[in-house]
Amino acid sequence: MSLHNIKYRLCLMVVMLAAVFSLSVVHASAAGVSDYGTLKVSGTKLVSSKTGENAKLFGVSTHGINWDVGYPYISKEAFSTLKDNYGVNAVRLAMYTTEYFGYCDKAGANESQSQVQSTLKERIDTGVKAATELDMYVIIDWHVLNDQNPNKYKKEAKAFFKEMSKKYSENDNVLYEICNEPNGGTSWSDIKKYAEDVIPVIRENDPDAVIIVGTPTWSQDVDIAADNPLKFDNVMYTLHFYASTHKDSYRDKLKTAISKGLPVLVTEYGLSEASGDGNIDTAEAKKWLDMLDENGISYFAWSLSNKAESSALLKAGTGKKSGWGNSDLSKAGKWVFNQYKKRNGINSVSLPGKVSGLKVKNKKGRKLYLSWAPVSEANGYQVVYSTGKKFGRSKKKLVKGTSVTISKLKKKKTYYVKLRAYKKAGTGKRFGKYSAVKKIKIKK
Structural domain boundaries in the chain: 26-347, 359-441
**DSSP character at residue 220:** T
Mean of pLDDT over the chain: 92
Q: What is the pLDDT of residue 235?
A: 98
- 213 in Cβ contact with 181 (< 8 Å): no
Q: What is the pLDDT of residue 28?
A: 64
Q: Verify whether residue 133 is a known catalytic residue.
A: no
Residue type, 234: N
Nearest by Cα to 132 from 86, 62, 76, 203: 76
- 271 in Cβ contact with 280 (< 8 Å): yes
**Cβ-based neighbour number of residue 347 at 10 Å:** 16
Contacts of 371 (CB under 8 A, 6+ apart): 357, 358, 359, 402, 403
Residue type, 237: Y
Question: Is the N-terminal amide bond of 348 cis, ω within 30° of 0?
Answer: no
Residue type, 20: V
Q: What is the pLDDT of residue 317?
A: 87
pTM: 0.84
Do you know the residue count of the chain? 444
Residue 25 has pLDDT above 70, yes or no: no
Strands 137-143 and 403-406: unpaired
- 322 in Cβ contact with 78 (< 8 Å): yes
Please tell me which residue in 99, 111, 122, 181 is annotated as part of the active site. Answer: 181
Q: Verify whether residue 53 is a known catalytic residue.
A: no
* 27 — pLDDT class (breaks 50, 70, 90): low
State the architecture of 26-347 in CATH terms.
Alpha-Beta Barrel (3.20)
Distance of CA 221 to the CA centre of its chain: 25
User: Which fold does the domain 359-441 belong to in CATH?
Assistant: Immunoglobulin-like (2.60.40)
Rounded-to-integer distance, Cα 30 and Cα 150, Å: 33
Please tell me which residue in 177, 268, 273, 284 is annotated as part of the active site. Answer: 268
